[in-house]
Chains A and B, each alone.
Chain A
Amino acid sequence: MGKKTRMTGARALIESLYAEKVDVMFGYPGGVLLPIYDELYDADIDHILVRHEQAAAHAADGYARATGKVGVCLATSGPGATNLVTGIANAYMDSVPMVAITGQVPRPLIGNDAFQEANITGITLPITKHNYLVTDVNDLPWIIKEAFHIASTGRQGPVLVDIPKDVTTDEIDFEYPEKVDLRGYKPVKTGHKMQIKRGAEAIIKARRPVIYIGGGIISSNASKELLELAETINAPVTTTLMAKGAFPDTHPLCVGMPGMHGTKYANFAIQESDLLIAIGVRFDDRVTGKVDSFAPNARIIHIDIDPAEISKNVRVDIPIVGNARSILKMLVEFISELNKSKSTTTQWMKKVEKWKQLYPLKYLMDKSLKPQYIVEQINELYPDSIIVTEVGQNQMWAAQYFKYTQPRTFISSGGLGTMGFGFPAAMGAKKGRPDKVVFDIAGDGSFQMNSQELATVVKNDIPVIVAILNNGFLGMVRQWQDLFFDKRYSFTSIDDSVDFVKLAEAYGAFGLRVTKPEEVGPALKEAVDSLRPTVIDFVVEREENVSPMVPAGAAINEILDLEA
């Protein structure tokens, strides 16, 4: 590195972000951030001013998921920092690489309940991969270096750096470190060779294998290697919500999503399989259903970067810890050496194929406007889009009825299920991939949790399209009330909340309303062609249910049809 230069902590932060190649960040200023914001005024970083800090965190998250790079957000001390909390927890649950920077009150005031003081390192302890309070300006460069390193390696996740105001005004002889040396952090990379061999042998012997994949395939960029494995052994692939796009939905071996709102054929295949090859998944309860009856006949191979995921929820027979991509490469090599012929799974694939024909995903199309139809139309007209979702029924329909073929084109809050995630995350995704058409498939409830970001997308010209599947309900909760609480719709009706078209217009965005099936296509085209941030209010059938469904606590083959 070059020679040291004298500068303030605030400047050193900017230089450190340059060194990490940060070109976009999302933030909101405040008193303790004034020195940092003064540096950002003419910095070579595209800083997007949001309207609520929660949106800054979700936007950084969406940016990270769409690009694979580390997302960066910035908020002031106290309420600014606590407003980031949901976004940080969301990124933590879905293992998204993020660096959250917060301002803190000056060091002499820490612990005094000073104005706008919050112990944000304490608050975020259980929802960050690691966090730091910078107590000396000389620590700032290596802390930023470590933060980016920790966020982006191993099992990825959010790291928070809390910087007291007086640290940003102190001076430092700046030099950015070249490497990190963390004796307590040495993520495993390549898998254990013997374990991979054992895996290969189990795969050769299997007659009814199922490949069950999760977000780990996307974070390790292992789609190509996965495709090779699936085609080599000729086995069905089931993709969790987090893995959508990691394996093409259009591929004959794809059986769609497992679990609560998965396909019947994915669930049946898992329940009958004799070998489950689980890759980058964590056996979430929304996937396994009643855990004691999950894949009862299968031995389980579990490939994961995080040793703590092995045998956490489900006992595993062959654990392989490491990077999915490098392990899959080796696994396919071993299998090819052992000379696997495809024919051993022919019978099995026939059976799976039959289930696919018998139990397709379906909904009743009549003259009314069906939410599923809207998703299908988006797919039909703009198959190469990035689809971001909110949470609830909209999310499940977006997962079920759009055919994802590329990784990083489906972005959704999986682990935390955060309403309000979709719109700001879509904004982040569009900043990261301006070449893509970006839709937020939204619910009327979720959108209202962060609709203030219409100001951000308009001011910064970030043309995302919010497709509200407006059912006038907190639909997913209403569905449970419908099924399990005698249709007592207690506090789930939110109809006539607001005129979404006028709301869009009030912010200077483009607003459209659609009430009939034949208007869907033209409205989508109008929105995309406008090149403006757009809200489309799709007034849909109010009481449509997501189908099929495994009731909570049931085995995943006890799956019900709910379509009218």
Chain B
Amino acid sequence: MKHTLAILVENKSGVLTRVAGLFSRRGFNIESLAVGVTDNPEISRMTIVVSGDDHVLEQVIKQLNKLIDVIRVSDLEPGETIERELALFKVKVDKGNRSEVMQIVDVFRAQIVDVGVKSLIVGVTGTNDKIDAIEKLLRGFGIVEVVRTGTVAMNRGAKTVKPGK
């Protein structure tokens, strides 16, 4: 089962190591991890996507909560969550297939962010699934390089993940 965790942490050096260390110690594989500062500059927010046994996940969440620098851990509800990821694909092109690539980019509402003589860079945001889908199509032309940010996620509606009182 896949879970998306939103984790608020103190914006200090070493915190990422503490968090990542816990996952590896429990044999828990991180599928993606994204981190950035929040509206409060003292607090960073991590979005970690993991898949694994629910019992182990419960342990990991409890262990995360024990870290002094972890302020809050929230296991986001799949149906109630907006998830986005950004990816860049460097794709091999020639005169013959350039327009075909452009069409795919249009359909996915992606963007061409760089044009070279023999390659293009396609930038796309969306859910993990959408990015997987466009990647599959672009593969046909030859992907030279891929970079993905990892998923960031937020509750729909009024619900928030905030430090609390």
Residues of B within 8 A of A (CB): 9-10, 14, 17-18, 21, 25, 55, 58-59, 62-63, 65-71, 163-164
Docked CA distance A306–B65 (Å): 10
Judged by a CB distance under 8 angstroms, whether A459 is at the interface is no
- Report B-chain residues with C-beta under 8 Å of the C-beta of A308: 59, 62-63, 65-66
**Given known A-B contacts A308-B59, A312-B59, A184 and B67 have beta carbons under 8 A apart:** yes
Q: List 11 A-B contacts (CB under 8 A).
A: A125-B17, A130-B67, A150-B68, A183-B71, A183-B164, A184-B9, A184-B67, A306-B66, A310-B62, A311-B55, A311-B58
Query: In the complex the two chains form, what is the Cα distance from A379 to B17 in whole Å?
Result: 49
Query: In the assembled complex, which residues on chain B have CB atoms less than 8 Å from the CB atom of A150?
Result: 68
- Smallest distance from the beta carbon of B133 to chain A beta carbons, Å? 39
The reply on A115 being an interface residue by CB < 8 A is: no
Complex interface bits, A143-177 against B, C-beta within 8 A gives 1, otherwise 0: 00000001000000000000000000000000000
Residue in chain B with minimal CB distance to A315: B55
Tell me if A296 is interfacial: C-beta within 8 Å of chain B: no
Question: What string of 1s and 0s marks CB contacts (under 8 Å) between A300-316 and chain B?
Answer: 00000011101110000
Task: Report the separation of the CA atoms of residues A129 and B68 in the bound assembly, to the nearest whole angstrom.
Answer: 8
The answer, yes or no, to whether A182 is at the interface (CB within 8 Å) is yes
CB of A336 closer than 8 Å to a CB of B: no
In the complex, residue of chain A having the shortest beta-carbon distance to the beta carbon of B14? A121
B22: nearest chain-A partner, CB-CB: A126
Chain A: CB-nearest residue to B61: A308
* Beta-carbon contacts under 8 Å, A110-152 to B: 121-122, 125-126, 129-130, 133, 150
What separation, in Å, do the CA atoms of A130 and B67 have in the docked complex? 7
- Considering the chains assembled together, what is the distance between the CA atoms of A308 and B55 in angstroms? 11
Q: What is the bound-complex CA distance between A125 and B65, given in angstroms? A: 15
CA distance A307 to B61 in the complex (A): 10
| Supplied contacts A125-B17, A184-B69, A185-B68, 4 more A-B pairs, CB within 8 Å | A129-B68, A184-B67, A307-B65, A308-B65
Contact B62 A130 (CB under 8 A): no
Chain A interface residue count, CB cutoff 8 Å, equals: 18
Provide the residues of chain A in CB contact with B59, threshold 8 Å. Answer: 308, 312
Which of B9, B59, B66 has most chain A Cβ within 10 Å? B66
Given the complex, which residues of A lie within 8 Å of B71, measured CB to CB?
183-184
**CB-based contact B18/A125 at 8 Å:** yes
- State in angstroms the CA–CA spacing of A457 and B49 once bound together: 54
Whether A130 lies near B21 (C-beta < 8 A) is no
Residue of B nearest to A185 (CB): B68
A126-B163 contact in complex given A307-B62, A308-B59, C-beta closer than 8 Å:
no
Can you name the residue of chain A whose Cβ is closest to the Cβ of B163?
A: A183
Q: B28: shortest Cβ distance to chain A, in Å?
A: 14
Residues of B within 8 A of A307 (CB): 62, 65
Per the bound structure, the CA–CA distance linking A154 and B14 in Å amounts to 23
- For the complex, what is the distance from the CA of A307 to the CA of B66, rounded to whole Å? 9
Q: Is the CB of B25 within 8 A of A184?
A: no
Quote the shortest CB–CB distance from A157 to chain B (angstroms): 10
The complex places the Cα of A211 from the Cα of B67 at a distance, in Å, of 31
Q: Who on chain A is nearest to B43 by CB?
A: A183
Q: Which residues of B contact A306 (CB under 8 A)?
A: 66
> Which residues of chain B are near A185, meaning CB under 8 Å?
68
**A126→B22 CA distance, assembly (Å):** 8
**Least Cβ–Cβ distance between A142 and chain B, in angstroms:** 13
Inter-subunit contact B66/A182 (CB<8 Å): no
The CA-CA distance from A125 to B70 in the complex, in Å, is: 14
Distance of A129 Cα from B62 Cα, bound (Å)? 14
A129 to B9: give the CA distance in the assembly, Å: 16
CB contacts (< 8 Å) of B9 on chain A: these are 184
Cα–Cα, bound, A121→B12 (Å): 14
Residues of B close to A184: CB separation below 8 A: 9-10, 67-71
Docked pose: A183 CA to B72 CA in angstroms: 9
Considering only CB atoms, which chain A residue lies closest to B165 in the complex?
A183
Given contacts A183-B163, A308-B62, A312-B59, contact A126 B21 (CB under 8 A): yes
Residues of B within 8 A of A182 (CB): 68
Complex alpha-carbon distance, A121 and B9, angstroms: 18
B3 to chain A, nearest CB (A): 17
State the Cβ distance, A179 to closest chain B Cβ, in Å.
16
| Residue pair A126, B25 in contact (C-beta under 8 Å) | yes
Return chain B residues, CB-CB under 8 Å to A183. Answer: 71, 163-164
B162 to chain A, nearest CB (A): 11
Whether the Cβ atoms of A130 and B25 lie closer than 8 Å is: no
State the CA gap A182–B12 with chains docked (Å): 14
Complex CA–CA separation, A306 to B70 (angstroms)? 16
A residues 308-329 touching B (CB-CB < 8 Å) = 308, 310-312
Query: What's the Cα separation between A254 and B139 when bound, in Å?
Result: 70
Which residues of A are found within 8 Å of B63, using beta-carbon distances? 308
B residues less than 8 Å from A129 (CB atoms)? 68
- Bound-state CA distance A310–B62 (Å) is 10
Residues on the A chain within 8 Å of B21, using CB: 125-126
Shortest A564–chain B CB gap in Å is 43
> A334-356 CB contact bits vs B (8 Å, 1 = yes)?
00000000000000000000000
Closest 3 CB pairs of A and B: A308-B62, A130-B68, A184-B71
Expressed in whole angstroms, the Cα–Cα distance for A311 and B54 within the complex equals: 12
The residues of A that contact B163 with a CB separation of less than 8 Å are: 183
- CB distance A122 to B10 under 8 Å? no
Residue of A nearest to B164 (CB): A183
A residues in contact with B10, CB < 8 Å = 184
Return chain B residues, CB-CB under 8 Å to A310: 62
CB interface residues, A 73-132, toward B, < 8 Å: 121-122, 125-126, 129-130
Could you say which residues of chain B place their CB within 8 Å of the CB of A311? 55, 58
| Minimal Cβ-Cβ distance residue in B for A182 | B68
Kindly list chain B residues whose C-beta atoms are within 8 Å of the C-beta of A312: 59
**B10 and chain A: residue at smallest CB distance:** A184
Instruction: Kindly provide the distance from the CB of A86 to the nearest chain B CB, expressed in whole angstroms.
Output: 18
Q: Which of B59, B62, B70, B164 neighbours the largest number of chain A CB atoms within 10 Å of its CB?
A: B62
Nearest CB on B from A144, distance (A)? 15
Q: Specify the chain A residue showing the minimal Cβ separation from B69.
A: A184
Distance of A133 Cα from B15 Cα, bound (Å):
12
Residues of B within 8 A of A125 (CB): 17-18, 21
**Could you tell me the distance between the alpha carbons of A307 and B73 in the complex, rounded to whole angstroms?**
14
- What B residues does A121 contact at CB under 8 A? 14
Cα A183 to Cα B68 with chains together (Å): 8
- Nearest residue (CB) in A for B66 is A308
Q: How far is the CA of A154 from the CA of B10 in the complex (A)?
A: 20
- How close is A105's CB to chain B, nearest CB, in angstroms? 17
**Complex CA–CA separation, A182 to B17 (angstroms):** 20
